[in-house]
Amino acid sequence: METKPQDARCNNILEGIAKLNKELKNDLVENILEITSNPKSKEYFNQLKRIGRATEQYRKRTTNLFYIGFLGHFSSGKSSTINTLLRLEGTKNEKKTAHNPTDDQITLITNLENNLDVIKMTQSGLVPIVISLIEGNEFLSDKVFMDTPGSGDPSTFEEIIRDSLPLCDLIVYCMAATHPLTNSDIPLLREKEKHLFNIPTIYLITRANEFKLNNFGKMDTLNFDSLKYQNFAAELAARIKNVVSSISLSYDDFLIIDNTEKFNIAALIQKVNFYCNPENYGNIQRLHDHKIDYFIRSLK
């Protein structure tokens, strides 16, 4: 069986880490670097182990499963959007939604049939990782949703962005129209841009009913205040640019939906399928390359 280029690069990374680990086990080296006593050296050593675990996980992944990470602070609409995309409302698999944090763990959601193929991610820090298997969900036939906790704890989102999200092929960053770009978003966006800038990102605005022309009417394109929304999105893009200079967006780079009234959901599905197209080999190869480049940068 022919070895794929990304597999060979993963092997090179893992061989380099194994060699370095062997050298670090030398008593003289360990004492000079103070690996067990110096906090900074200890943290570098722990990072090295995390990179090795992440690379090993990625090498084991199958190319027919796309990993989609949902990111955003609590009450940004992550859980509601997942419920909508997977049609989980009213089922035993429906995710809880609330104005306070409802999850303190990373949940990998996929089809029951994908159980043997999904990466069994190793917990390397404080955030638990669980797998939720759903039977017969067509949208998940070639996808794994990675639902992340919406905690404002910096150590939590740093760990998630460093250890888990690099394996994703797409990130859906959720912000609610009622409170976009909160104080919790700023460090989250900065960390995402620092480590995951090469991963395609859908900047999703939820609660589109804030832009209804008639509050008593149905949420559709005819009852949508486009001008008000464009001004809102342009201002939001400017605010994001102001706090994270490398993120340059215009108002039409955002996608707005409403989960309650199912507004614009078809457009979101279309975008997800565009980035997760198993027939686009060039796109898949590019996604593999940027993940491995991430591991290499982290290792250096």
Reported as a single tens digit per residue, the pLDDT across 97-149 is: 765 555 678 889 999 998 888 876 655 567 778 889 999 999 999 999 999 88
- Give exposure, 85-104, as e/b (b: 16+ Cβ within 10 Å): bbebeeeebebebeeeeebe
Indicate if 127 and 75 belong to the same structural domain.
yes
Q: Looking at residue 152, what is its pLDDT? A: 60
Indicate if 151 and 187 belong to the same structural domain.
yes
pLDDT, mean of residues 43-63 = 75
Indicate if 122 and 15 belong to the same structural domain.
no
Q: What distance in Å separates the CA atoms of residue 59 and residue 172, rounded to the nearest whole number?
A: 24
Question: Structure pTM?
Answer: 0.81
Tokens matching residue 244: 């994270």
Indicate if 208 and 218 belong to the same structural domain.
yes
Q: Looking at residue 243, what is its pLDDT? A: 94
Of 18-22, 157-161, 284-288, which has the strongest mean pLDDT? Answer: 18-22
Provide the total of helices (H) and of strands (E) in the chain, helices listed first: 9, 7
From the list 87, 78, 86, 79, the residue with the least C-alpha distance to 110 is 86
Indicate if 190 and 140 belong to the same structural domain.
yes
pLDDT, mean of residues 175-204 = 90
Q: What percent of the chain has pLDDT over 90?
A: 41
Q: Looking at residue 45, what is its pLDDT? A: 79
Indicate if 288 and 234 belong to the same structural domain.
no
Indicate if 86 and 147 belong to the same structural domain.
yes
Q: What distance in Å separates the CA atoms of residue 261 and residue 101, rounded to the nearest whole number?
A: 23
Q: Looking at residue 101, what is its pLDDT? A: 52
Indicate if 204 and 300 belong to the same structural domain.
no
> Does 70 have pLDDT greater than 90?
yes
Q: What distance in Å separates the CA atoms of residue 212 and residue 260, rounded to the nearest whole number?
A: 13
Indicate if 69 and 59 belong to the same structural domain.
no
- Mapped onto helix, strand or coil, the DSSP state of residue 208 is helix
pLDDT tens-digit readout, 224-258: 999 999 999 999 999 999 999 999 999 899 999 99
pLDDT, mean of residues 167-189 = 91
Strands (E), the chain: 66-71, 106-111, 129-134, 143-147, 170-176, 201-206, 254-256
Domain with 22 in it? 1-63+280-300
Beta-ladder partners of 108: 131, 146
Amino acid at the residue 10: C
Q: What are the residues whose beta carbons fall under 8 Å from the beta carbon of 83, sequence distance 6 or more? A: 89, 94, 95, 97, 259
Indicate if 77 and 216 belong to the same structural domain.
yes
Indicate if 164 and 262 belong to the same structural domain.
yes
Indicate if 91 and 232 belong to the same structural domain.
yes
Instruction: Report the number of distinct structural domains present in the chain.
Output: 2
pLDDT tens-digit readout, 1-46: 344 556 788 888 888 888 887 877 777 677 777 777 788 777 777 7
Q: What percent of the chain has pLDDT over 70?
A: 90
Tokens matching residue 162: 């460093």
**CATH code: domain of residue 139:** 3.40.50.300
